[in-house]
Amino acid sequence: MEMIDRRIFLIVLDSFGIGNAPDAARFGDEGSNTLATIAKSSRYDTPNLKKIGLFNIDGVECKEKERKTIGSYGRLTERSQGKDTTIGHWEIAGVISSKPLPTFPHGFPKELLEKFRRKTGRDILCNMPYSGTEVIRDYGEEHMKTGSLIVYTSADSVFQIAAHEEVVPLEELYRDCEIAREMLTGELGVGRVIARPFTGTSGTFTRTANRHDFSLVPPKDTMLDLLTDAGYETYGIGKIYDIFAGKGIQHTQRIINNEDGMNRTIEMLQTEFKGLCFVNLVDFDMLYGHRNDIDGYADAATVFDRQLGTFMENMRDADILMITADHGCDPGFKGTDHSRECVPFLAYGKDIRENVSIGTRKTFADIAATIVEIMEVSNRTDGRSFRAEIMK
């Protein structure tokens, strides 16, 4: 087939929910609304998102609507049985998960950890759901004295290992995570094994940027595989490579934070390629949503919007920008877990229709279906394309 000379930039604002998920009550999240919460902050200012159509989306009532948007917009409902990062991204990429990934609210089975201890040669601390910052505060000193690995989980389907970089070298920590990944299959098959290195001394322990996620391989081909099979290039920025266990990602760039991620995305505008650049900006979730930091989340959205303006100014005529999210994490809601919310969809570019609403879609997978149809690749995703609605 002849490839289309086009670049699509798909940016996931990690946890940027917009409320109103129809099944939120089943997840204990009725009333959560990440956007409505942060929009009340005096530090929230996103004129570019507003121009594209963020506040014109169905159900979004927290700010004044744009009279005529410069892009297309809509609301997406999650079909997968979960509200975690892995399942959310898989669905964005075209795979609906009918079963939730396993969680361990009471810690991992003793038999599993004993086997893990023998394979790594290190004892285990904690083994409970815990905040990532609090777990190193509470167990960091004992870890420093004993060399034991701090193993913990959360409300998400994750097996996390925290270790001080001076006690457990990064290479060893990553190898320990690979051991855990090989063990955690079947009913124990968590979505991600996460390395959580930290530095500092007691009272000042700080997590570093050397986090690394070891994910399950998606259960079937995603839009990334369909595009690469058709000859297109795929780029992952942020933790995209980790989320998909590298499957379908030809090029990857790690980032330090959201701002660095957007700088690298802006730099990608100077790269010659045909295909998809898939971006995840995790700070919204990791640094602000999970820590109930409303002003911090709002400020991060404001900084992103400023960088978004630079990106939009430098787009080529054939470029298409898409912005969405993978779940919610309302910093003003009860607890610190992800929240079951609908997510926004925004599209912008010279070939994208202005002032068009796609309404409310039944699955995130419609994004993948739309992308492969735009690139004239056969749609084998779980979604239905809305290309005809948003393309001129």
List, for residues 55-114, the tens digit of each pLDDT value: 999 999 999 999 999 999 999 999 999 899 999 999 999 999 998 899 999 999 999 999
pLDDT exceeds 80 at position 1: no
Assess whether 119 and 33 both reside in one domain. no
Distances (CA, A) of 340 to 35, 107, 283: 13, 23, 18
pLDDT at 138: 97
Assess whether 207 and 225 both reside in one domain. no
pLDDT at 20: 86
pLDDT at 140: 97
Q: Which of 300, 346, 311 is nearest to 60 (CA)?
A: 346
pLDDT exceeds 90 at position 226: yes
Do residues 297 and 331 touch, judged by C-beta distance below 8 A? yes
Assess whether 208 and 244 both reside in one domain. no
List, for residues 114-132, the tens digit of each pLDDT value: 999 999 999 999 999 999 9
Give the end of a domain, one of 173, 199, 215: 215
Q: pLDDT > 90: what percent of the chain? A: 95
Average pLDDT of the chain to the nearest whole number? 96
For range 292-298, the mean pLDDT: 98
Give the end of a domain, one of 163, 182, 215: 215
CB neighbourhood size of 330 (10 A): 28
- Its domain, for residue 44, covers 7-99+217-390
Give the end of a domain, one of 168, 188, 215: 215
Residue 358 forms part of a structural domain: yes
At 130, the amino acid letter reads: Y
Assess whether 196 and 242 both reside in one domain. no
Assess whether 224 and 296 both reside in one domain. yes
Distance CA 154, CA 33 (A): 21
Residue 105 forms part of a structural domain: no
Confidence class of residue 192 from pLDDT cuts 50, 70 and 90? very high
Own/partner long-range contacts of 205-208 (Cβ < 8 Å, ≥24 apart): 205/136, 205/137, 205/140, 205/164, 207/132, 207/133, 207/136, 207/162, 208/165
pLDDT at 260: 98
pLDDT at 209: 87
pLDDT exceeds 90 at position 151: yes
Burial state string for 73-83 with b = 16 or more CB within 10 A and e = fewer than 16: bbbbbbbbebb
Distance CA 225, CA 137 (A): 41
Assess whether 278 and 355 both reside in one domain. yes
For range 191-218, the mean pLDDT: 94
pLDDT at 220: 95
Assess whether 370 and 246 both reside in one domain. yes
pLDDT at 245: 93
List, for residues 62-78, the tens digit of each pLDDT value: 999 999 999 999 999 99
pLDDT exceeds 80 at position 254: yes
Distance CA 281, CA 261 (A): 7
Assess whether 251 and 190 both reside in one domain. no
Own/partner long-range contacts of 25-29 (Cβ < 8 Å, ≥24 apart): 26/340, 27/83, 27/339, 27/340, 29/83, 29/328, 29/330, 29/333, 29/339, 29/340, 29/341
pLDDT at 335: 84
Three-class SS state of 368: helix
For range 305-309, the mean pLDDT: 98
Residue 284 forms part of a structural domain: yes
Assess whether 150 and 223 both reside in one domain. no
| Residue 31 CA neighbour count, 13 Å, CB half | 5
Residue 373 forms part of a structural domain: yes
Residue 241 forms part of a structural domain: yes
Structural domains in the chain (count): 2
List, for residues 11-46, the tens digit of each pLDDT value: 999 999 999 899 999 999 999 999 999 999 999 999
pLDDT at 115: 97
Assess whether 16 and 59 both reside in one domain. yes
Q: Which of 368, 85, 325, 81 is nearest to 221 (CA)?
A: 368
pLDDT exceeds 90 at position 272: yes
Assess whether 230 and 206 both reside in one domain. no
Assess whether 236 and 367 both reside in one domain. yes
For range 327-342, the mean pLDDT: 94
pLDDT exceeds 90 at position 224: yes
pLDDT exceeds 90 at position 306: yes
* CATH code of residue 165: 3.30.70.1250
pLDDT at 2: 83
Residue 319 forms part of a structural domain: yes
Residue 104 forms part of a structural domain: no
Residue 154 forms part of a structural domain: yes
* CATH code of residue 80: 3.40.720.10
Three-class SS state of 42: coil
Residues present in the chain in total: 392
